[in-house]
Amino acid sequence: MSRWAWAEIDHDAIRHNVEVLRRSVAPSAVWAVVKADGYGHGAIDVARSALDAGAEGLCVALVDEGVELRRAEIRAPILLLSEQPVADAARIVEHGLTPTVYTRPYIEALAALDVDGLDGLDVHLKVDTGMGRVGVAPPDALELAEIIVRHGPRLRLAGVATHLASADDVADPATAAQLAAFAAVLATLPATPVVHAANSAGGLAHPHARYSFVRAGIAIYGISPGHGVDHLCRDLRPVLSLRARVSFLKRVEAGTRISYGLRHTFVTPTTVATIPIGYADGVPRRLFETGGEVLVGGRRRPIVGVVTMDQLMVDVGDDPVAVGDEVVLIGEQGGERVSAEEWADRLGTIGYEIVCGVSRRIARVPRRNIGD
């Protein structure tokens, strides 16, 4: 290993989480969402483990993300979750990706592609039932569906989809309203092989959202979509852990101040460990002022001073800590755990942003068969 900071990716946990989700949404299927490099976990390896555990398809945001999976010889269906630049449309066909569509110009552009192999491109029609991001408005859905059908057999209307805005807030009536709007649109559209609406929270908390399959992202990674559904995530296991080693140790006196701005002052003598991981690796600078802690020797220890670009400091008290000792920033050590959700709560964000923020500078180290 070329540096003393890395992320471990527990592939047993991915398989476990996919199995948990499959059981809880059956008879609906699970498609694994591996956009943004598998939420920072490594898309190719995550995709393989998820498919291995019975996920029936994959979802990505970008054409490049789909192509990366195809280059890794992954042959499962790959759904692009939103329309992409028309200039890239030929690559969708060349690599056997399934586009989501919701505008007439994009549908016409796909139908007009002069590419070998375009003799039946499956497309999924996305309806915006209330998320307000992308999708055809419900009153216009039938017209677009008819345009797709008219472009048969070059295009095939293979699916209809929507996306839920607040499925993790189980008390919010917006989800029921979205699902009712979706059902009303579906009743007007030609029948399609698949229909899908649910993200992780939708699949876990809203049985009526499950349809043919659940597009499960965050739950695959063992992270709760939000506190409103934490109780449905108890069987999930976190996949990513962020680890480093102590690179430097020193004693400090009472009154010593530390890090940029000298914003932390020690009130008693103590030992400070320097950890070679910083905000350029995805440890937010603000984690210091919001009470961030790491695990050293199985104990919670506070970050002291602002997190710098490449390094941060931790007060390890009078514990016998040595250079080279393992430090856990996210994950478990000695029965203690710091979760991505804990960081998210401290920072006023969601676990998604924490794991997606672990930068490319951090190697992803796969772990398998840990229990064996």
Within positions 252 to 271, which residues make up the interface with ligand PLP, using CB under 6 A?
Answer: none
**Nearest residue relative to ligand PLP (C-beta):** 217
Q: By C-beta, is 124 or 301 nearer to ligand PLP?
A: 124
Q: Is 279 a catalytic residue?
A: no
**35 an active-site residue?**
yes
Residue 67 Ramachandran class (φ > 0 left, ψ -120 to 50 alpha, else beta): alpha
Q: Which lies closer to ligand PLP via its Cβ, residue 80 or residue 296?
A: 80
Choice from 15, 22, 124, 163 touching ligand PLP (CB under 6 A): 163
217 near ligand PLP (CB under 6 A): yes
Q: Count of CB atoms within 10 A of residue 346's CB?
A: 17
Region from 11-19, 44-52, 196-204, 335-343 binding ligand PLP, contact rule CB under 6 A:
196-204
98 is a site residue for ligand PLP (CB under 6 A): no
Distance CA 70, CA 68 (A): 6
Segment interacting with ligand PLP, rule: CB under 6 A, options 169-177, 197-205, 310-318, 332-340 = 197-205
Interface pick for ligand PLP out of 17, 98, 129, 199 (rule CB under 6 A) = 199
Q: Is the dihedral of CA 203, 209, 212, 216 positive or negative?
A: negative
- Give counts: helices (H), strands (E), the chain: 11, 20
What is the gyration radius of the CA atoms in the chain, in angstroms?
A: 23
Using CA of residue 89, residue 94, residue 95, residue 101, what is the dihedral sign? positive
| For ligand PLP, the closer CB: 102 or 279 | 102
Q: What mask, x for binding ligand PLP by CB under 6 A, covers residues 307 to 326?
A: --------------------
The yes or no reply on residue 218 touching ligand PLP (CB under 6 A) is yes
Min dist. Cβ of residue 163 to ligand PLP (A): 4
Please count the other Cβ atoms lying within 10 Å of the Cβ belonging to residue 117.
12
Contacts 24+ apart (CB under 8 A), 84-89: 88/63, 89/113
Nearest C-alpha neighbor of 339 from the set 243, 241, 244: 241
In the complex, the smallest distance separating the C-beta of residue 77 from ligand PLP, rounded to whole angstroms, is 15
Task: Tell me the β-bridge partners of 122.
Answer: 156
- Closest CB to ligand PLP among residues 31, 279: 31
Taking contact as CB under 6 A, which single stretch among the options 217-225, 239-247, 264-272, 277-285 is the one that binds ligand PLP?
Answer: 217-225
Rounded least distance, CB 200 to ligand PLP, Å: 3
The structure tokens 């540096």 sit at 3
Q: Helices marked H in the chain — which ranges?
A: 11-25, 35-40, 43-52, 63-71, 89-94, 104-111, 138-150, 174-188, 200-205, 340-347, 351-356
Residue 33 engages ligand PLP in binding (rule: CB under 6 A) = yes
User: What three-state secondary structure class fits 262?
Assistant: helix
Residue 188's identity, in one-letter code, is T
Q: How far is the CB of 81 from ligand PLP (least distance, A)?
A: 4
- How far apart are CB 367 and ligand PLP at their closest, in Å? 22
Does 200 contact ligand PLP by CB under 6 A? Answer: yes
The least distance separating ligand PLP from the CB of residue 346, rounded to whole angstroms, comes to 21
Which range of residues in 64-72, 174-182, 209-217, 332-340 is near ligand PLP by CB under 6 A?
209-217
Identify whether the C-beta of residue 9 lies closer than 8 Å to the C-beta of residue 367.
Answer: yes
> Quick count: other Cβ atoms within 10 Å of Cβ 301?
19
Catalytically annotated residue among 35, 39, 106, 126: 35
60-89: contacts with ligand PLP (CB under 6 A)? 81
Sequence-separated (6 or more) residues with CB below 8 Å from residue 234: none
**Counting contacts by CB under 6 A, is residue 215 touching ligand PLP?**
yes
- # residues near ligand PLP by CB under 6 A: 13
Q: Active-site residues: which are they? A: 35, 260
Give me the residues that bind ligand PLP (CB under 6 A), please.
33, 35, 81, 163, 199-201, 215-219, 225
